[in-house]
Structure 1
Amino acid sequence: MRELVYYVAVSLDGYIAGPNGQFDAFLVEGDHMDGINERFADTIPTDHAAALGIDQSTGIFDTVLMGANTYAAGLPEVTSPYRHLDQYVFTHRRRDPVDGVTFTDRDPVEVVRELKQTEGKDIWLCGGGDLATQLAEEIDRFVLKRQPVMFGSGIPLMAPGRYAPRRFHRVRGHDFDTGVSIVEYAAT
């Protein structure tokens, strides 16, 4: 069965973006990028990967889920950031159709349960924090790119207190010279 994987950069103090939704303090250069490009090449926006000559055909994901604010980060320039994946954007706002993007106001839990029952690769939960909280019980794995920065406030990895306690075990981890650590946890 397909897994829902919350793969995301997170600050030392537990935020996936700063107080104004900014994430530009996260390191995007350094030795950790080679590890990301090798194992998670499919999480790089399609146009960026093409410009860098990165092959995305062997990735572990074929679907990406985003909240409306995460999707909006690339607008208006980029309307279909991950054309190599099936893209789902959860929003209650009406949107004009975009090739390769499914906008939906359906319950994210129902959508994920349906996707998990279909054939395919794993499902990438890209963000944001509210969507992750709604899907907390459905997350099978966390892959956290722990960054050596603090935001002080902002969008948390998960909203507090809106899900039942669950145990995860560490599957793998790697520390890089940049100070970035990539740690993976699977549900027990």
Structure 2
Amino acid sequence: MRELVYYIASSLDGLIAGPDGADPTGPDGFWPVTPDYVQHLATTYPETLPAGAREALGVTAEGTHFDTVLEGRKSYEIGLAAGVPDAYPHLRHLVFSRTLAEAPAPAVELVADDPTVRVRELKREDGKDIWLLGGAGLAGALYPEIDRLIVKLSPLTLGDGVPLFAHGTAFDPRLWQLTDHTALESGVLFLTYRRAPASEVRG
């Protein structure tokens, strides 16, 4: 069965964006995007690079991890504001929103229904794993469905901002088993965790 993977960049204090929710890696962003970080993405997770970056870097690799990407309306609208209606045309792209009437890009699938129901359907389909891009609201709604976390941990603190899971996410303590880690010279850590069995949480 396919797995839902929350693959996300985080600061040391567990934040994924500033208080305004804007793209922290954009032209006016504060997130450090170092050459070794970009190279690691291009060689290990090429499918997670947006189309513009893939073209600029000459990346054509299909990727081995994901064939589907999920994002919420706020996350999607960051790309729209930059004039990019589909940043991931090389992936099946689903946007969860109850307010968008139609998708600005024909290949983008709008989902107004319960995210949990849709994700369970996707998991039963054949294919590679499912990338949960964000944002925090969608990650919070799908918290019980996340099978793995891949945290791109940056040597950065924000003090305030958007957390990994939106405030209001149901209190549900979970343990995660570290299954892989990569440390880059720039200080970025790629940490892969698999959800531990429920029995280990209860002790």
Shorter-chain TM-score: what band?
over 0.9
Is the aligned partner of 1:40 residue 2:27? no
Residue in 1 that maps onto 2:90: 84
Identity between Structure 1 and Structure 2 (%)? 39
CA distance in 2, matches of 1:158, 1:10: 11
Report 1 or 2 for greater relative contact order, CA contacts < 8 Å, sequence distance ≥ 6: 1
3-state SS, counterpart of residue 25 of structure 1: coil
Map 1:13-162 onto structure 2 (within 5 A).
13-22=13-22, 23=24, 24-76=29-81, 77-97=83-103, 98-159=105-166, 162=170
Higher helix share: 2
CA distance in 2, matches of 1:113, 1:21: 28
Residue in 2 that maps onto 1:185: 193
Structure 1 unaligned residues grouped into runs of 5+ = none
TM-score by length of 2: 0.88
Question: Which one of the candidate residues 175, 179, 189 is aligned to 1:171?
Answer: 179
3-state SS, counterpart of residue 74 of structure 1: helix
Q: Give the superposition deviation at 1:163.
A: 3.9
Structure 2 unaligned residues grouped into runs of 5+ = 197-203
TM-score by length of 1: 0.94
Residues matched between the structures, number: 188
CA distance in 2, matches of 1:153, 1:101: 32
Residue in 1 that maps onto 2:3: 3
3-state SS, counterpart of residue 80 of structure 1: coil
- Let me know the Cα RMSD of the aligned residues: 1.4
In the TM superposition, structure 1's runs of 4+ consecutive aligned residues that sit over 6 Å from their partners are none
CA distance in 2, matches of 1:159, 1:44: 24
Q: Give the superposition deviation at 1:68.
A: 0.6
Q: Give the superposition deviation at 1:176.
A: 1.3
